[in-house]
Structure 1
Amino acid sequence: MSDVEALFAALRQAADAETAECIEAVVARGADRDLNRINVLAFAGGHRLDEERTIAAFLHAARLGIFDMTWNVLCPGCGGVLDTGASLKGVVHDVYHCGLCAAGYEPTLDEMVEVTFTVNPRVRRIAAHDPDLLPPLEYYRQMFFSSGVDLPDDLEEKFAPIQLEMIELAPGEKAFVSLQLPSKFVIIFDAVTHAAQFIDVQGEPTSERQSLSMVITRSHVLSETITLRPGLLRLALENHTDRRVVPNVCVAGDELHDLLGRRRPFLTAKRLLTNQSFRDIFRTDTLDVDQRLKITSLTFLFTDLRGSTALYERVGDIAAFDLVRSHFRVLNEIVAAETGAVVKTIGDAVMASFPTPDRAVAAALRMRQAMLRLNAEHGADDLLLKIGIHEGSCLAVNLNDRQDYFGQTVNIASRVQGLADPNVIMTTEAVVHDSRVSDMLRERSVQSVSRMAELQGIGREVRIFALS
Structure 2
Amino acid sequence: MSTLLSREFVRHLKASRAQAWEALADTARYNESVGLPKHDIREEPQPDGSVRFYATAKIGFLTLNWEDIPQEWSTGNWFRHRRLFLKGPLKQLNVHVRFEDGPNGEGCTVHYRTDIEPRNLIGRILAHNVIFPVNERNFILIANRIEEWAKEQIETPYPTEPMELDEAHSKRLESVLTRLNVSHYGHGLGRRLANWLLSAQEVDLMHIRPLRLARQWEVDERHVIELCLQAVKDGLLESRWDLLCPRCKGAKISESSLDALPQGAHCPSCNVSYDRDFARNVELTFQPAASIRKVVHGEFCLFGPMSTPHVRLQVRIAPGESESVETALAPGSYRIRTLEPGPERILDVSGGDFPSIAVDEEDIASETNGAADAAIMLKNSCQRPRVVIVEARDWAEDALTAHRVTTMQAFRHLFAEDVLRGGDEVGIAHITLMFTDLSGSTALYEKIGDAPAYGLVREHFDFLSRIVREHDGGVVKTIGDAVMASFAEPENGLRATLDIRNHVLEFNQQHPATPIGLKLGLHTGPCIAVTLNGRLDYFGSTVNMAARLQGEAGAGEIVISEAIASDPAAAEVLKSHWLEQDRRAIRGFKDPVTFRRLPPEDTAHKPT
TM above 0.5, one fold? yes
Offset at residue 39 of structure 1 (A): 1.2
Specify the alignment match of 2:218 in structure 1. 48
Query: Given the alignment of the two structures, is residue 289 of structure 1 paired with residue 419 of structure 2, yes or no?
Result: no
TM-score where L is the length of structure 2: 0.58
1:287-307 per-position Cα deviation (integer Å, ceiling 9, x unaligned): 112110111000000000111
2:504 paired residue among 336, 361, 371 = 371
- Answer whether contact 1:302 1:414 (CA < 8 A) is retained: yes
Specify the alignment match of 1:252 in structure 2. 387
Q: How does 1:100-139 map to 2 (within 5 A)?
A: 104-127=273-296, 130-131=297-298, 134-135=299-300, 137-138=301-302
Specify the alignment match of 1:452 in structure 2. 583
Specify the alignment match of 1:8 in structure 2. 177
2:309 paired residue among 150, 173, 198 = 150
CA distance in 2, matches of 1:374, 1:11: 32
Q: 1:264 to 1:308 in 2, by over 3 A?
A: closer
1:295-346 per-position Cα deviation (integer Å, ceiling 9, x unaligned): 1000000000111011010111122111111111111111011111000001
Residue type of the partner of 2:548?
R
Which structure is higher in RCO with an 8 Å CA cutoff and minimum separation 6? 1
Offset at residue 56 of structure 1 (A): 0.5
Offset at residue 103 of structure 1 (A): 5.2
CA distance in 2, matches of 1:430, 1:335: 20
Offset at residue 19 of structure 1 (A): 2.0
Specify the alignment match of 1:439 in structure 2. 572
Specify the alignment match of 2:547 in structure 1. 414
Aligned length: 380
Residue type of the partner of 1:464?
F
Q: Name the SS of the counterpart of 1:73 in structure 2.
A: strand
Specify the alignment match of 2:255 in structure 1. 85
Specify the alignment match of 2:39 in structure 1. none
Residue type of the partner of 1:23?
L
Q: How does 1:212-227 map to 2 (within 5 A)?
A: none
Query: Given the alignment of the two structures, is residue 25 of structure 1 paired with residue 176 of structure 2, yes or no?
Result: no
Larger Rg: 2
Q: 1:258 to 1:299 in 2, by over 3 A?
A: closer
- Answer whether contact 1:109 1:293 (CA < 8 A) is retained: yes
Query: Given the alignment of the two structures, is residue 75 of structure 1 paired with residue 234 of structure 2, yes or no?
Result: no
- Answer whether contact 1:447 1:467 (CA < 8 A) is retained: yes
Offset at residue 5 of structure 1 (A): 2.8
Specify the alignment match of 2:439 in structure 1. 306
Q: 1:314 to 1:98 in 2, by over 3 A?
A: same
Specify the alignment match of 2:321 in structure 1. 183
Q: Name the SS of the counterpart of 1:371 in structure 2.
A: helix
CA distance in 2, matches of 1:369, 1:259: 40
1:135-192 per-position Cα deviation (integer Å, ceiling 9, x unaligned): 4x25x56xxx998x4379xx9xx97xx479xxxxxxxxxxxxxxx8783798679xxx
Residue type of the partner of 2:556?
N
Q: How does 1:160-199 map to 2 (within 5 A)?
A: 162=315, 183=321
Offset at residue 104 of structure 1 (A): 4.7
- Answer whether contact 1:107 1:294 (CA < 8 A) is retained: no
Query: Given the alignment of the two structures, is residue 278 of structure 1 paired with residue 411 of structure 2, yes or no?
Result: yes
Q: Name the SS of the counterpart of 1:2 in structure 2.
A: helix
Q: Name the SS of the counterpart of 2:398 in structure 1.
A: coil
- Answer whether contact 1:78 1:260 (CA < 8 A) is retained: no
Residue type of the partner of 1:403?
L
Mind listing any 5+ residue stretches in structure 1 that lack a counterpart?
165-179, 190-198, 202-224, 230-249
Offset at residue 2 of structure 1 (A): 2.1
- Answer whether contact 1:73 1:91 (CA < 8 A) is retained: yes
Specify the alignment match of 1:398 in structure 2. 531
Q: Name the SS of the counterpart of 1:396 in structure 2.
A: strand
- Answer whether contact 2:214 2:220 (CA < 8 A) is retained: yes
CA distance in 1, matches of 2:417, 2:402: 15
CA distance in 1, matches of 2:396, 2:468: 29
Query: Given the alignment of the two structures, is residue 36 of structure 1 paired with residue 206 of structure 2, yes or no?
Result: yes
Offset at residue 264 of structure 1 (A): 3.5
- Answer whether contact 1:78 1:261 (CA < 8 A) is retained: no
CA distance in 1, matches of 2:552, 2:339: 57
Q: Percent identity?
A: 32
Q: Name the SS of the counterpart of 1:77 in structure 2.
A: coil
CA distance in 1, matches of 2:306, 2:420: 22
CA distance in 1, matches of 2:569, 2:340: 44
Q: Name the SS of the counterpart of 2:189 in structure 1.
A: helix
Specify the alignment match of 2:398 in structure 1. 265
Q: Name the SS of the counterpart of 2:390 in structure 1.
A: helix
Aligned residues: CA RMSD: 3.0
- Answer whether contact 1:19 1:49 (CA < 8 A) is retained: no
- Answer whether contact 2:209 2:399 (CA < 8 A) is retained: yes
Specify the alignment match of 2:594 in structure 1. 463
Residue type of the partner of 1:42?
R
Offset at residue 413 of structure 1 (A): 0.4
Q: 1:260 to 1:447 in 2, by over 3 A?
A: closer
Offset at residue 388 of structure 1 (A): 0.5
Query: Given the alignment of the two structures, is residue 335 of structure 1 paired with residue 468 of structure 2, yes or no?
Result: yes
- Greater shift after overlay, 388-397 or 262-271? 262-271
Q: Name the SS of the counterpart of 2:427 in structure 1.
A: strand
Q: 1:357 to 1:188 in 2, by over 3 A?
A: closer
